[in-house]
């Protein structure tokens, strides 16, 4: 192909893939199979690698992230990003309608009703149809430039379709995290011993402010747009411009209606107050706007909000009940969580008997006491929580509540690290719930996959003294466990049933234990339950160090050389392998035949062309980054995650992270291209 043909093909692929992304992520109407989509994307990656000068600024290859932002630059909003006046009262909506009618002096007008998305407000500026920058609300006057992170959200177009949009305009909306992704993310955080996010809103906000855009890309954030600002807009009204913006490629919600009466507004409010649980994301109310731009200007603004719009917020599902007592639960990582036991109440269609109190700071803030009448909300939260206390019903003899000082399970003195809100029990190998939690994590399907040991069986074996740690699993025999039984109550349920170790059950358990000896090293490492070492990090450690002995010997700095291993993870790994009890457990597991080294067939060296050389890989290549890293190892080289004075080469592809490039130049680390790399290994 000549250069003009290659350029035309790159342009065609870019447009075609962006259209497929729009159909899939904005319209939920895919027009191509995943396989065919991947083929198109691979072709574009290859052509852009050969001719990087021809890559377009809206290339879908830039969606993967990789840019590191240490400090988010502040950008002043061209138009202040004001918040709306909120109300929980239908009477105040009626008052709003009457004020609008009075100020418009009898003019005919219409409202637009939209959902109020519970996420992070964002302003997107487009110049000549290309995304220029994305800015958070901040203080309304200026916000954080989060463009690198926003570019990873596939429902936000980098280049618009058509040519009938203004030369420059801003469109505003809400970045949200769908409930399904929120659940997946919290499961992942639980796997690494981290605290879950309280709700999707916090998760979305925390994600968009992460420093590594590649990590943001892994979280399935979404964005709904609902407000457009600029000169020379196609229409003189809000609703019609938003419909047009949908044609340009924006994800403008279909949950929108025009109304001319306050009764029609209340119908829309009632409909979505009932139907909001059916949505795949959280909303917390309805926004009502005057449609005409001219009438919006006529109505103008107060100091803090527009007079032409109001937000009706749904009342949180809130009830009062009595706090009977407080339990303290100890998790797998030793985190101690206070849980309130309540007089049973109906909330959101379920019976609530317990609610989280989170930590000592929350107890102190509420000044909550046993016997108090408390208010419990569900709202957008996944778990019911106590939000307030009605002190007018407080018993006169009540005493302030003090957080416990010792573990409720093993009586060990609790610790609380500086800067953390959580108390921990440090007795990680002698505290019963920590031990049971670690065993349950170990047998999980994503770890050792001994699912025949689930459903209360671990507790029975623990109570009978047969399981004191994960290594004891491999000492179980038919004779030891046949006939064991116990009543088991399912968590969050009153249903009790008898769990009994019958002949078939025992056979399945022993087979599952034997089969687990073939589970690969990276999953064994994950199964050990090292704090902050989830599935992905376990695989990075396994690939980098090859076996557990090398991980155990590694220093803090050597651990940090592995890809994606930061200070917190390195400290946790050092702490785990510095514990003699953990080392003894690993030794027993090795004796039983578990895999504590990586499958050498996957990393057999084919040459020593790169022997003793360390590489940092950054950017987009003609092959996947995993393939590039595999090639480095096949030829004797070593992959490291961060650049240091000991790094031999930085292998740079397209869109290399600017911070990595700057650091390499500061440390005089050679930066080589993909072609230069292939020359090295071909030699």
Which residues are part of the catalytic machinery?
116
Task: Give φ, ψ of 602 to 5 degrees.
Answer: -85, -15
86 burial type by CB count under 10 A (0-12 exposed, 13-18 middle, 19+ buried): middle
Residues 6+ apart with CB under 8 A from 175: 119, 120, 121, 122, 150, 153, 204, 208, 221, 222, 223
Residues 6+ apart with CB under 8 A from 29: 23
Q: In 3D, which of 155, 182, 209 has the Cα closest to residue 24?
A: 155
Q: What is the distance between the alpha carbons of residues 88 and 513, in angstroms, rounded to a whole number?
A: 56
Q: What is the distance between the alpha carbons of residues 390 and 544, in angstroms, rounded to a whole number?
A: 56
Alpha helix ranges (H) inside 369-520 = 432-442, 457-463, 478-481, 503-515
Question: Do the Cβ atoms of 177 and 222 come closer than 8 Å?
Answer: yes
683 burial type by CB count under 10 A (0-12 exposed, 13-18 middle, 19+ buried): exposed
* Residue bearing tokens 């240091």: 644
Largest Cα–Cα distance in the chain? 89
Sheet of 671-672, strand order:
638-639, 614-618, 649-652, 671-672
Distances (CA, A) of 635 to 345, 631, 632, 677: 65, 6, 5, 11
Residues 6+ apart with CB under 8 A from 418: none
Task: Give φ, ψ of 674 to 5 degrees.
Answer: -65, -40
* Residue bearing tokens 């919006």: 296
Q: For residue 191, what is the DSSP state?
A: H
Sort residue 564 into left (φ over 0), alpha (ψ -120 to 50) or beta. Answer: left
Q: Are strands 638-639 and 649-652 parallel, antiparallel or unpaired?
A: unpaired
Q: In 3D, which of 444, 469, 465, 467 has the Cα closest to residue 454?
A: 444
For the chain, the C-alpha Rg in angstroms (whole number) is: 29
Q: Are strands 111-117 and 256-259 parallel, antiparallel or unpaired?
A: antiparallel
Kindly report the length of the chain.
683
Retrieve residue 571's tokens.
């400290």
Q: What is the dihedral of CA 10, 12, 18, 21, to 10 degrees?
A: -110
Q: In 3D, which of 288, 226, 316, 300 has the Cα closest to residue 84?
A: 288
3-state secondary structure of 362: helix
């Amino acid at each position: 192909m000549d250069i003009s043909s290659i350029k035309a093909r790159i342009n065609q692929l870019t447009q075609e893939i962006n259209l497929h992304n729009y159909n899939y992520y904005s319209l939920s109407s895919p027009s191509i199979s995943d396989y065919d989509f991947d083929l198109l994307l691979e072709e574009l990656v290859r052509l852009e690698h050969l001719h990087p000068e021809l890559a377009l600024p809206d290339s879908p290859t830039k969606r993967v992230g990789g840019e590191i932002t240490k400090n988010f630059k502040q950008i002043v909003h061209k138009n202040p990003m004001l918040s709306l006046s909120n109300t929980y009262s239908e009477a105040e909506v009626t008052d709003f309608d009457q004020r609008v009618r009075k100020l418009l002096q009898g003019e005919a007008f219409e409202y637009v009703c939209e959902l109020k998305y519970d996420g992070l407000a964002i302003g997107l500026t487009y110049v000549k149809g290309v995304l220029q920058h994305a800015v958070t609300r901040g203080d309304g006057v200026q916000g954080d430039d989060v463009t690198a992170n926003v570019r990873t959200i596939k429902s936000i177009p980098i280049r618009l379709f058509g040519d009938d949009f203004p030369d420059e305009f801003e469109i505003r909306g809400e970045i949200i995290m769908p409930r399904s992704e929120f659940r997946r993310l919290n499961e992942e955080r639980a796997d690494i011993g981290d605290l879950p996010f309280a709700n999707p809103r916090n998760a979305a906000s925390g994600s968009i402010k992460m420093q590594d855009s590649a990590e943001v890309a892994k979280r399935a954030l979404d964005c709904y747009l609902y407000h457009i600002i600029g000169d020379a807009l196609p229409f003189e009204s809000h609703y019609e411009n938003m419909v047009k913006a949908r044609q340009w490629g924006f994800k403008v919600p279909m949950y929108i209606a025009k109304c001319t009466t306050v009764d029609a507004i209340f119908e829309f409010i009632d409909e979505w107050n009932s139907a909001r649980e059916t949505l795949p994301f959280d909303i917390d109310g309805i926004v009502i706007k005057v449609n005409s731009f001219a009438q919006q200007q006529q109505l103008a603004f107060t100091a803090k909000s527009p007079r032409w719009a109001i937000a009706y917020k749904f009342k949180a599902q809130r009830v009062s009940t009595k706090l009977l007592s407080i339990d303290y639960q100890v998790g797998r990582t030793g985190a101690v969580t206070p849980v309130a036991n309540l007089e049973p109440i109906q909330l959101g269609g379920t019976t609530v008997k317990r609610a989280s109190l989170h930590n000592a700071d929350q107890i102190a803030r509420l000044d909550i006491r046993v016997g108090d009448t408390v208010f419990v909300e569900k709202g957008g939260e996944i778990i019911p929580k106590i939000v307030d206390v009605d002190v007018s019903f407080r018993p006169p003899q009540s005493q302030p509540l003090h957080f416990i000082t010792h573990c409720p399970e093993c009586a060990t003195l609790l610790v609380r690290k500086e800067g953390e809100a959580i108390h921990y029990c440090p007795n990680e190998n002698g505290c019963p719930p920590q031990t049971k939690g670690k065993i349950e994590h170990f047998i999980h399907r994503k770890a050792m996959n001994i699912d025949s040991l689930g459903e209360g069986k671990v507790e029975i074996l623990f109570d009978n003294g047969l399981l004191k740690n994960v290594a004891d699993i491999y000492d179980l025999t038919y004779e030891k466990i046949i006939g064991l039984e116990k009543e088991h109550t399912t968590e969050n349920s009153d249903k009790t049933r008898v769990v009994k170790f019958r002949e078939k059950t025992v056979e399945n358990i022993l087979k599952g234990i034997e089969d687990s000896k073939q589970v690969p090293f990276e999953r064994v490492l994950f199964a050990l339950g090292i704090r902050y070492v989830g599935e992905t990090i376990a695989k990075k450690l396994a690939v980098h160090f090859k076996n557990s002995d090398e991980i155990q010997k590694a220093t803090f700095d050597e651990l940090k050389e592995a890809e994606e291993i930061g200070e917190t993870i390195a400290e946790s790994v050092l702490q785990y392998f510095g514990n003699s009890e953990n080392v003894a457990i690993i030794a027993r597991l090795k004796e039983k035949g578990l895999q504590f080294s990586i499958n050498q067939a996957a990393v057999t060296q084919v040459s020593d062309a790169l022997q003793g050389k360390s590489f940092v890989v950054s950017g987009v290549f003609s092959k996947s980054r995993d393939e590039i890293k595999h090639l480095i190892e096949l030829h004797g080289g070593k992959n490291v995650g961060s650049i240091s004075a000991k790094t031999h080469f930085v292998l740079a592809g397209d869109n290399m992270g600017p911070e990595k490039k700057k650091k390499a130049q500061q440390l005089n680390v050679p930066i080589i291209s993909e072609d230069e790399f292939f020359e090295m290994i071909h030699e």
